Amino acid sequence: MTRARGESPGTRRHGARPTSPERLVEVVDEALRPPLFRSLCAAVRRLGSEGIRRTYETTFWFDLDATPAAMPEQAAKSLSSVFWSRGARGVEWWLSRMWTHDVRVDFHRDRDERLALSGGPDRHPRISSVLFLNRVRGGALAVTAQLPDPRNPALVPLPLEADLVGPAPNRFAVFDGRLTHGVLDARNAVPVSRLRARGELRLTLVMNGWTRRPTGVPTFEEAGVYRALVAPRGR
């Protein structure tokens, strides 16, 4: 792997050609104020393993003009200028909690999932983003302009040309919501199978910015789950 020109620490270009294309991912370190980041991480730790098997299916809608009901919404509010600048009025958010030896997410493009499954068109967010909550070995986010390829394990496009972002606490990665992305395993390799050696629990907050609310996504208060994430009153 070679380092992409002009990249920030923790971002690398995988499979780069001699003249590297423009970076696909914007990376900001120390994205949240330290007290807010510590409070967010503490809330996620209190949550423990609750709902972890359905972590990717448990998503929430937050209108950026609303009062945050959960700690992740405090984070979204703090970063709201990033979403507004891309034309988003709200975010769909969820917690990504995965073991790096057993990555169960294929390369994909974010979309209005319920709309697509009901036979509607693929509608993508204006902006996709990942806020890393901890540091783990491997587990890089890979973002590519290539389409997922169903002929390959994990739907990875080959040869893969991608920007890689390594997990680090309070690191915020932002990219176009139409781009393909996936997660690499503990060896920073495409996850083709479960690894024998146990990895680490990789924790992130995913926030996708939309111009309108995705189909059937509840607010945090409507969902009535993850009560450990409730934001303290007065914030």
Give CA 235 to chain center in angstroms.
24
Give CA 98 to chain center in angstroms.
12
- State the CB neighbour count (10 A cutoff) for residue 220: 22
CA nearest neighbour of 157 among 168, 171, 143, 167: 143
Tell me the average pLDDT of the chain. Answer: 91
For 91, list phi and psi in degrees, rounded to 5: -125, 145
The answer to whether position 72 is within a domain reads yes
CA distance 201 to 185: 11
Report pLDDT for 19.
Answer: 41
Report pLDDT for 12.
Answer: 54
CA nearest neighbour of 207 among 45, 40, 51, 42: 40
The answer to whether position 142 is within a domain reads yes
- State the CB neighbour count (10 A cutoff) for residue 141: 26
The DSSP letter of residue 99 is E
The answer to whether position 6 is within a domain reads no
Locate 81 and state its tokens.
Answer: 């200028």
The answer to whether position 1 is within a domain reads no
The answer to whether position 71 is within a domain reads yes
How buried is residue 58: exposed, middle or buried, by Cβ count under 10 Å (0-12/13-18/19+)?
A: middle
CA distance 171 to 8: 11
SS3 content of the chain, % helix, strand, coil (to 5): 20, 25, 55
The answer to whether position 5 is within a domain reads no
Q: In the β-sheet with 180-183, what is the strand arrangement from edge to edge?
A: 11-14, 162-165, 141-144, 180-183, 108-109
Look up the CATH number of the domain holding residue 151.
2.60.120.620
87: containing domain:
11-15+24-229
> How many domains are contained in the chain?
1
pLDDT band of residue 171 (cuts 50, 70, 90) is very high
Query: Each residue of 68-112: pLDDT tens digit?
Result: 999 999 999 999 999 999 999 999 999 999 999 999 999 999 999
Report pLDDT for 4.
Answer: 30
Predicted model pTM: 0.91
Cβ(47)–Cβ(228) below 8 Å = yes
